[in-house]
Each structure stands twice: as C-alpha cells, then as structure tokens.
Amino acid sequence: MSSPIDATTTPAWTALTALRESFSPDLRGWFAADPERVESLTFDLADLRVDLSKNLITPEIRAALVQLAEQTGVAERFAAMLAGEHINTTEDRAVLHTALRRPADASPALVVDGQDVDHDVHAVLDALSAFADRVRSGEWRGVTGKKVTHVVNIGIGGSDLGPVMVYEALKPYGADAGSPRPEAPRSAPAMRGGGVGRVQARFVSNIDPTDIAQKTADLDPETTLFVVASKTFTTLETLTNARLARDWLWEHLAAAGVDVATDEARSDAVAHHFVAVSTALDKVAAFGIDPANAFGFWDWVGGRYSVDSAIGLSLAIALGPDVFRELLAGFHAVDEHVSTTPLERNVPVLMGLLNVWYSNFLGAQSHAVLPYAQQLSRFPAYLQQLTMESNGKSVRWDGTPVTTDTGEVFWGEPGTNGQHAFYQLIHQGTRLIPADFIAVANPAYPLADDGRDVHGLFLANFLAQTKALAFGKTAEEVEAEGTTGALVAARTFPGNRPTTSIFAPALTPAVLGQLIALYEHITFTQGAIWGINSFDQWGVELGKQLALQIAPAIEGDQEAIAAQDPSTRALLAYYREHRD
C-alpha cells in the first residue's frame, strides 16, 4: 500500500481554504436564489431519499469537495478494498466486510490470498440459516426436550452493538416461527408474534455482573439458548459472561429438578444450550460447545463491520434467515452504488465530504444522528463505534502524523425525545453541530389518536426541526408577533444549522442494511481523505492491558498495589475499604 496523499497539499484543499475565508452561510438566500437547489442536492440511494439541500454548501464548495475526493484517491482506495488489497496496513489484512453481502452468483468470483471468499462466505451463511431454521421450527431443543423461546447473545463491541441495534430496529419482523413473514411493509409489519414459536433475543455485553443477572433473571434455563460471540474465544468480558451463563444454566436446571450432578450431564446441558460464533474451535470445545455448532468469520472482518457475518446468528434465529438475507441485500445495494456511481452523485462520498468540510473548515467537533423512528433508538450508539473507533486516529496508515483534525464525536437520540433534551444547543448554542435526520413514511404500528394519524404528527416534528434549523427566525419576525425588549434576542433563531434528511418508505430489513452501509462508506470516505487506517483500533488496547495488571491489586496483591500511580492507589484503597 502506497503512502497516503496529504489532503492539505492538494489544489482542492487550497480552493476550499479560500472558499472558507470568504464564506458566509445564507440558506434563506440560497434557496430563494436557486429554485433548483432541492432537486440538484436530492438523491435516491436504493430505497433511501437523501436531501442534502439544507447543508452549508454552494455549487463551488460542492465542486471543490468532489475534487478533493478525486485528488486524494477515494475511488481508487475503495476499489482496492473491494479487490482484497491489504488496506489495513497495521495488521496486514484485507478489509472485506463488503464480501459478506455479495450474492452467491457474483461475478467475477472473489479470490483473495488464495481463499475463495464467495464460497466460504455463503457456506457459513447457509449453515447459519439452517441452524436458525432448526431452532425456530423446534427441531433443536434444550436438554429436557423443550423448544427454545429465548436466545441470549453474549458479546461485546461489534459482537453486541450491531446485533442489538438490528434486533431493536427489526423486532416487528420477529413473527411466529413457521408463520409467513410480512412482506416489505408499508405499515404494521408484525403486530402479531408472541406465540409459541417465537424466539425472543436478549443481549449481554457488559462485564458488570448486573447485566447478565438482569438479562437472565426471568428466563427458563430449559428454553434458553446462549450464543457466545468471540472470534478468538478469548475476549475477557465475553468469556467471563459465558462462564457466568454456564453456571446459571447448571444452577437453574438443578433447581428445576434436572440432573446435572455428573460431568457428563453438565457437558450435555452445555451442548444443548450453547453455540458459538468463533474460529477457535479448540477453545470452543474446551468450553463444552460442540465445534459443529460454531460459526466462523475471518480476520478480514473487523468487529464493528461484522453484524452481517456470523455475528448475526442471534438475529437469524430471532428474526428468521430470510429477514437476515434481506438485510444483506440492502447492504449490497449501497456497495454497488458506491462502486458504480460518479463521485459527484455518490451519496456516501458526498456525505463524507460534507463531514470533512464541517470538521476541517468550519470547526465542527461533533455530529448528531437523530432518527425519527423509535426502532432506531440504538442506531446512534452503533454509529459511535463505527465512526469513532474507525476514524479516531492521530497517525496515517503509513505511521506518519496526521496533517488535519480527524474524527467527530457522533451522538444522538430518537426524536421527539431529543427535542426535549438537547435540541436547544443545536438551535441556539454557539457550536456548529451538523445533524442527520432519519425518518420513514410508514410506521410499524400505525396508531391513531381520536382519528388523527399519530405517525403524521410525529413526522411533522421531523420536518419542522430541519426547517427551523435551516431558516431560523429573525428578530423582525419575532417582533411582528408582538415580542419586545430583551425577549426578542432570546426568541431569535439564527438558522444556517446544517442538516441532512434521509427518508425511506418503511424500516424494512433492506432499508436498515442500506442505512448501515451508507454510514460505513461515509466513514470510509473520511478516512481515505485523511489518509488514516479506518480498520484498526489500537487505541482500545492499552486500557485492556492495564486492567489485567490492576486486577491482582483489586484482590489485595500488595506488589500490584505498589506498582500503581498515587491516584490509582487511592482509588483502590477506597474500593477495598467500601467493598463488602
């Protein structure tokens, strides 16, 4: 992999710097002067309608940003990723999450480092689907012969954030196993469910014992299946929780009168109630899981890009393999768009370029993602890992220091909850906070209040907020309403707060896949321009190493305590004094 191009040395960066020096945002004026603004800045991306017109760009800025992508080789780096070049330089790995959603008959076949990637991906996908069908149909049963009613995914990071987000988003699709699943819904996709065949999912990630204690508190051990998701089967939090879950299973089976007194009986119980997503088959077997029930993925799949791999096993069980495959098709549609669409109309590239404009030229330090869809309540948290673990870097992919600011703090909450929490800062605060608003035309649950469509009222807020942020309210408009004195300033809204509006017909599996892939490729675009490796995460390692060193001090090891800094020793002393 060649050295990155320094974006700050390109003619496009020079042009953008000059445009910034003379920049005076005026969305009201721009809309008035250009009747075609909305049409020229609105794009269809598979099922998504993406409106960029309320962003702080002019045709000149847009052109310079596209030139920046050209001059930093964004398209070439994307092609290198698709081809399996080792663009993850620090780990000398290919980056092939896009291969997880390639159709089985994709041509030409993808062979990387001697591996037939398409064959291996679909072999795992078929095995995963077959196993999910066995659980959902009741063919797979617990040690006492009862059907599985709950699947508990044990993982952390990408092995948790992706699955829990997708499950919450597509929960209406968790119809009774064996019943016809709803077609791409325009409304109420699954106001059924709850029947005998339904498998519900729960997710355990935190090593705080409260997490697993609460998630298992009301479960029946005879009908619970655990999925342990750890590629190496060594992740501290995941393996600790897996052992706690195994102890819980044995204890509660015994309490229910099931014989687990012998090693053979205990092993049999684990084999019926635990499966794994891992490639470390020896460790899986040592835990007691049958290696035949371990589903693998590869080192070219990063954790935060893995929800469409075998990490999605719990989703295939709870939602059905067909739903999972539709999710993959949504991802692939966006992959195709990025690889075939010119940069000037390439939606993820344009959105990534806008983020560079805001971060590097207008001083934005954070980015809000505001879904007007309660089902997407976990989407901002998922994006936090995707974006900040990918682009929170201070060195480029060749080890040299970055030449620009990188990364933004991604955050958000669903509307309208956020309106009653932090929108004040976005509307009238002193910081520029670009925001993405996401909505669907048809809700999962079309309810009415006294004959009035509640979803319509909800989306009126979605539309009102982007309008208010863009155009604000002038002092003259406030005064015209009868407000006087000091209250005028308090009730004035400056406007020119940038937003992107993303609409879809409904939150189908395909649409969700499209949304995830959209942000994957936004993140990719920014990383490529900054010249950083968006696919490693060395910044998370030091704390994990230190935790292992501090653990003996927690238990009272005096030598370990003495090795700590004064602040850590004082905190250890407080903990040991107050721990019962």
DSSP H or E stretch at residue 18: helix 11-21
pLDDT at residue 185, rounded to an integer: 45
Q: Does 413 qualify as catalytic in the annotation?
A: no
CA 440 to each of CA 291, 502, 506, 559, 565: distance values in angstroms, whole numbers, following the listed order: 42, 8, 5, 58, 52
**Active-site residue among 222, 237, 326, 389?**
389
Determine whether 389 is an active site residue: yes
pLDDT mean across residues, the chain: 95
The angle subtended at Cα 540 by Cα 98 and Cα 316, nearest 5°, is: 40
Convert the pLDDT of each residue in 131-189 to its tens digit. 999 999 999 999 999 999 999 999 999 999 999 999 999 999 985 433 334 444 444 34
Beta bridge partners of 439: 372, 503
Helices 74-83/509-530 angle, 10° precision: 120
Q: What is the pLDDT of residue 166?
A: 98
Superfamily of domain 27-57+357-507: Glucose-6-phosphate isomerase like protein; domain 1 (3.40.50.10490)
Active-site position among 139, 251, 544, 555 = 544
Cα separation of 373 and 441, whole Å?
Answer: 10
State in words which class domain 111-323 has. Answer: alpha beta
Under a CB-based contact definition with an 8 Å cutoff, are residues 390 and 456 in contact? no
Residue length of the chain: 580
User: Is there a catalytic annotation at residue 520?
Assistant: no
Q: What stretches of 138-172 show up as alpha helix (H) in DSSP?
A: 158-170
3-state class (DSSP) for residue 144: coil
User: What pLDDT is stored for residue 174 in this prediction?
Assistant: 87
Per-residue pLDDT at 568: 97
Q: Measured between alpha carbons, how far is 140 from 293 in angstroms, rounded to an integer?
A: 12
50 pairs with which residues across the strands? Answer: 43, 502
Name residue 318's amino acid.
A
User: Would you kindly state where each structural domain of the chain is located, as residue ranges?
Assistant: 27-57+357-507, 111-323, 539-578
Displacement of CA 479 from its chain's centroid (Å): 44
Catalytic hit among 420, 467, 541, 555: 420
Element at 411 (helix H, strand E) = strand 409-411
Identify the residue whose tokens are 């002038």: 474
Question: 27-57+357-507 and 111-323: same fold?
Answer: yes
CA-based nearest residue to 51, from 409, 525, 462, 474? 462
Dump pLDDT digits (tens) for 185-226: 444 344 333 333 589 999 999 999 999 999 999 999 999 999
The per-residue pLDDT for 205 is 97
pTM of the model: 0.95
Beta-sheet pairing, 448-449 with 435-442: unpaired
For the CA atoms of 52, 461, 427, 33, what is the dihedral angle to 10 degrees? 40
Q: Read out DSSP for 43-83?
A: EEETTEEEE-TTSS--HHHHHHHHHHHHHTTHHHHHHHHHH
User: What is the structure's pLDDT at 188?
Assistant: 39
Contact 297, 309 (CB under 8 A): yes
Q: What is the pLDDT of residues 304-324, one digit of tens each?
A: 999 999 999 999 999 999 999
According to the model, what pLDDT value does residue 194 have?
35
Looking at residue 181, its pLDDT comes to: 43
Helix ranges, 229-288 (H) = 236-255, 263-273, 281-287
- Is residue 416 reached through a cis peptide bond, with omega within 30 degrees of 0 on the bond before it? yes
Q: Tell which residue, 535, 539, 507, 566, has the closest CA to residue 48.
A: 507
Flag residues of the chain having pLDDT under 50.
176-196
Three-state SS letters, 426-492: HHHCCCCCCEEEEEEEECCCCCEECCEEHHHHHHHHHHHHHHHHHHCECHHHHHHCCCCCCHHHHCC
What are the tokens at 515?
């949304």
Q: Specify whether the backbone of 186 is left (phi greater than 0), alpha (psi in -120 to 50) or beta.
A: alpha
The confidence score (pLDDT) of residue 175 equals 58
Helices and strands counted in the chain (H then E)? 24, 15
224-229: strand order across its sheet: 200-204, 150-154, 224-229, 274-277, 294-295
Q: Is the peptide bond before 108 cis (omega within 30 degrees of 0)?
A: yes
Q: What are phi and psi of 201, to 5 degrees?
A: -115, 145
The closest alpha carbon to 329, from 505, 129, 513, belongs to: 513
Q: How big is the chain by its Cα radius of gyration, in Å?
A: 26
Alpha carbon 413 to chain centroid, angstroms: 14
Q: Are 430 and 438 in contact (CB under 8 A)?
A: no
Instruction: Provide the β-strand partners of residue 48.
Output: 45
